[in-house]
Each structure stands twice: as C-alpha cells, then as structure tokens.
Structure 1
C-alpha cells in the first residue's frame, strides 16, 4: 500500500484551472496583509500525518450527539478542517457539497466537517444556507484536535495560529492517514477527493 502526501509548501492545492492561480506563498502573504500579522506557516505536523494512525478524537455534532473517530474502523473517513462561519462562501459551499455528495458511497466512506466555531452559532448559518443541515459538522471549539492535526498554521488559513483554513485528511479503514492536502484555492473538491478514496 502506498501513501500519498502533497507537501503544502511546494504544492498545497489541487490542480489549478488557470495558470494565474497564486502560489501558496503569495496567498499566505496576501492573507497577512488583509488580516494583519499571523503565525508563520508550519506544515510539519500536517505532512507528518501520512502513514500514521490518525489522532483519535471525540467531538460533538450539530445534533448534539458525539462521534469518536476510532469507532469507525472499517470505513474510509474524509476530514475537512475549515474556518467555518467566517469563511463564507468558500467553506460553506464545500460543507454543503459534502452534505449532498453523490460521489461517495455512504456505506464505505464517512465525511466530517470540522470547525472551531461554537455549536450555537451554526443555527443562523443553517437558516441562511439550509443545505448545510445535510452535512455532518463537528465542533472543535478548544482547537485541540485542529492542533493535533497541524491545520492551524497551514497556508490556507487566513488567521494562522488561530483557525484552520481549507484542509483535507483522508483516513483509511484501518485508521491510518493516507492523504493530506491544504487547498489555498478553497474550492469544492468532491470529485478529486473521491478519486483519492478509490486509490486506497
């Protein structure tokens, strides 16, 4: 079995549709200019996940129930770490697309959207975009899990050191991370991720 990793400093996004797509360094610099000073890019933890057992977690869902990652052995897991409410419409669009995805077999693949937002704040978001209700959103409000996965200091984060940006992790049926990618383009990536799942 071969593991797949895309080093985020060198190529941290899915193939671009246009050659004018900004580089990770340009995007990071632009984010700093727009949002003020932030933590330095550090993708060592994120890149180092591949080939290792995914850090376990138990997080609360929007409906009040909890999910424990290690209880889902036997299924492929896609984790989408995102900035959540502040990332409108990009993150919202990806979350909604996952909630209505036709590219994945729910019998074999589970998708979790992980945000650091307080759960109570999502009520208005679901009212604004009802499609979000179909997605499974998990709340990492203390950022412990986001830190464990190293997603707080990646190039896609517009508030590095504080919030995730737009990052994907694929965990196989044995609980091992097979694929990671940080996407500074912040697009909907169902098709590309479905292809990665097929490679496992």
Structure 2
C-alpha cells in the first residue's frame, strides 16, 4: 500500500470514530431527563420509596386538599408551569380531566400550578375542558420547593416555576414513580401503566 492510501485510510477511520462517538454522546444526553427513574441520584429520584411530603393547597374552586387525606387512593401530582405553559401544560391538565381511566384505577390526579385563582378562572373561560381537572394553587411555591421541582430540566423558568413533572404516590402515601418531562407531552397512558404496576 502506498503512503497516500495509508493516510486516507487513517483519515477515514478517525472520521468514523468521531462520528460514532458524537452519535453516542448525543443519544445519551437526549435521553437524560425524559424519565427520571434513572440510576443517577437527583432530588426527584431521592423521593422514590419514601413517604410523600404532606401539603395542603387550595384549588381554583376554593376547596382545600391535603395530600395525606387521600391515603387509600393512588395520587398523581403534576407539577407544571401553569398558564405560561400553553399549550403543553394546558393540554395535559385537560387530558387528565377527560380521562376516566384514573378514576377506574382508584387514582386522583392533582395538577399543581403557581398561578393566582383569578388568573386561572380566566384560563377556564378560554379552555373550558380545564374545569374538569383538579388544579391546586401553590402561589407561594412552598409545595414546589418541598418537592424540589423548580430547577429540573423541564422548567423553562429555572428556580421560578416547575416544568412538567409527574410524581405517583401509592395508596399508602409512598412515592413510587417520578418523571421530569422536558418534551412536555401528554402522558396519560404511561402514567396508567405505572399505576397498574402498583
């Protein structure tokens, strides 16, 4: 083989190695944060297997709901950016209200936002389907801070608002599943599948 052919082959091998390495790195980082049941220890993952921190919040309809009062039922907590997260969060909240699968599985869904009551009533005027969901107002952000959801990858307003984060609490009040979702999808089917594992 000539010197030129050896140089070309080395160049091709180096290029292929760089491309394969780049694809490997990109595919690894794009999966981070899509599901939080990963091996890495994060404040969100650290909740799994532990009692869910208790809280009492008021809904936009004026009802006060305490998490510990729901023992005996599975509970999905959906921390989200609320009104500023249109349409993704609005669509997920509306989808929760329209799905009967959760009720059939003895599951309560609580969407937790940092919005004010009057602002939320305006959103329901624009999208009446939202009224079918239980939306709790964490206006002082104490519950969002308690659950460490203000600085996760899905938050578009890091440190200020939660992003698109799901936490499943079982009938005994223990956290069984967490997911931070930067893709901000509607995850009803995935959550039903997780509830069925309990």
TM more than 0.5 = yes
Determine if contact 1:103/1:191 at 8 Å carries over to the other structure: no
Please identify which structure carries the higher helix content: 2
Q: Radius of gyration: which is bigger?
A: 2
Find out whether 1:196 has 2:194 as its counterpart.
Answer: yes
- Which residue of structure 1 lines up, in the alignment, with residue 75 of structure 2? 77
* Number of the residue aligned with 1:59: 57
- Displacement of 1:145 in angstroms is 0.4
Where in structure 1 are there 5+ consecutive unaligned residues?
Answer: 1-7, 15-42
Task: Provide structure 2 residue ranges, at least 5 long, that are not aligned to the other structure.
Answer: 1-28, 36-40
Displacement of 1:106 after TM fit?
4.8
In the alignment, what sits opposite 1:120? 118
> Structure 2-normalised TM-score?
0.80
* Aligned pairs (5 A) from 1:24-43: none
Give the 3-state SS of the residue equivalent to 1:150 in structure 2. Answer: coil
Which residue of structure 1 lines up, in the alignment, with residue 107 of structure 2?
109
1: CA distance, partners of 2:113 / 2:87: 15
Task: Give deviations 1:22-70, integer Å, cap 9, x for gaps.
Answer: xxxxxxxxxxxxxxxxxxxxx8321111010000000001110100000
Q: Normalising to structure 1: TM-score of the pair?
A: 0.79
The C-alpha deviation readout for 1:77-128, integer Å capped at 9, x for no partner, is 0000000000000000000000001322356100000001111111110011
- Measured in 1, the distance between the counterparts of 2:59 and 2:104 equals 17
Between the two proteins, the alignment pairs up a number of residues equal to 165
Q: Name the residue aligned to 1:92.
A: 90
Partners of 1:107 and 1:179 in 2: how far apart? 16
Q: Check if 1:13 corresponds to 2:11.
A: no
